[in-house]
Amino acid sequence: MATVGFIGLGNMGGPMASNLISAGHTVKVFDLVPELIQSVPGALAGTSALDAATDIDVFVSMLPAGHHVRGLYLGDGSEPGLLAHMSTDTLVIDCSTIDPASAQAVAAQAVEQGLAMLDAPVSGGTAGAQGGTLTFIVGGEEQALQQARPILEAMGSNIFHAGAAGAGQIAKICNNMLLAILMAGTAETLALGVDNGLDPGVLSEIMKVSSAGNWALNVYNPFPGVMPSAPASSGYKGGFLVDLMRKDLGLALQTAQATQSAIPLGSLAQNLYQLLSENHDAGGLDFSSIQYLYKPGLKNT
């Protein structure tokens, strides 16, 4: 069993750290919010990020965005970041969803300091974090991934090696861009059927086994009442928030700009989710609430 430093104990990081403890690892935690440091039963409370990164085998971070990750590991220009202080036998795993350029910059500095580092963003949301069923999409050296496996397996059930440093972030961004597009397309299509007198449940069953079948129709139908377990049937509460999808679409645009890749559908999806957030106050709702853009009347049902 390993001693793990864990930083970032929010909606995802808190339950992930708990699962490491349940698997028998010793976990030293830290967050900028003091109450969160006490919120992980069985964890050792770190007094600072540096404390959580000291005398450990593996260090895991789960932070909101690229600038948090850069600040933590590389410092702010006046003060060096954690990488400068970490023991070279520490394996570093960043699970945050961030821009690939930041992931690559941090990994390059880690290599310079003699440290092995992986980017390992996750898919599966808060339910996956709580249940230990996350999918990890990993970028970095194969050898570091082999070392990381027992740690990742305590928090997830699928581990994919996408390629070199930053590749985990690129694959995660690609997945979420397509998810946004297919959810918007599914909502638009269901609205067209309903406007023309079809029952959304019947239309969904037809499309599920026809050539338009997709993940949203199978497990996450955006039309209220079609699928009792989907967020659409409980007022779009919980699930994967519109604000987080907007963040990931922003990363897709940034990534596409860097390589001058054309992503017209990704750009359109980003605009649709922005309109949804602004016009329907939906930032804190599940992303399948994109259905409101096509059927605003559903808000009153």
Residue 208 DSSP SS3: helix
Name the one residue in this structure whose structure tokens are 């377990």: 229
End-to-end, the C-alpha distance of the chain in Å comes to 52
Secondary structure element (H or E) that encloses residue 168, with its range: helix 167-195
Give the closest residue to 6 by CA, choosing from 65, 92, 79.
92
Give the closest residue to 5 by CA, choosing from 48, 72, 73, 53.
53
Helices (H), the chain: 13-22, 34-37, 49-52, 66-74, 100-112, 125-131, 142-153, 167-195, 200-208, 215-219, 242-259, 264-280, 291-294
Q: By CB under 6 A, what part of segment 129-188 binds ligand NAD?
A: none
Give the nearest distance from C-beta 102 to ligand NAD in angstroms: 11
Number of shown-chain residues binding ligand NAD (CB under 6 A): 26
Instruction: Identify the active-site residue in 28, 172, 237, 247.
Output: 172
- Binding track over 35-74 against ligand NAD, x by CB under 6 A: -x------------x------------xxx---x---x--
Name the one residue in this structure whose structure tokens are 């050539």: 211
Q: Is 172 a catalytic residue?
A: yes
Compute how many other C-beta atoms are within 10 angstroms of the C-beta atom of residue 151: 22
9 contacts ligand NAD (rule: CB under 6 A): yes
- Binding track over 216-245 against ligand NAD, x by CB under 6 A: ------------------------x---x-
13 contacts ligand NAD (rule: CB under 6 A): yes
Q: By CB under 6 A, what part of segment 109-138 binds ligand NAD?
A: 122, 125-126
Among 1, 22, 24, 32, binds ligand NAD (CB under 6 A): 32
Contact residues for ligand NAD, defined by CB under 6 A: 7-13, 30-33, 36, 49, 62-64, 68, 72, 96-97, 122, 125-126, 240, 244, 247
Q: Catalytic site residues?
A: 172
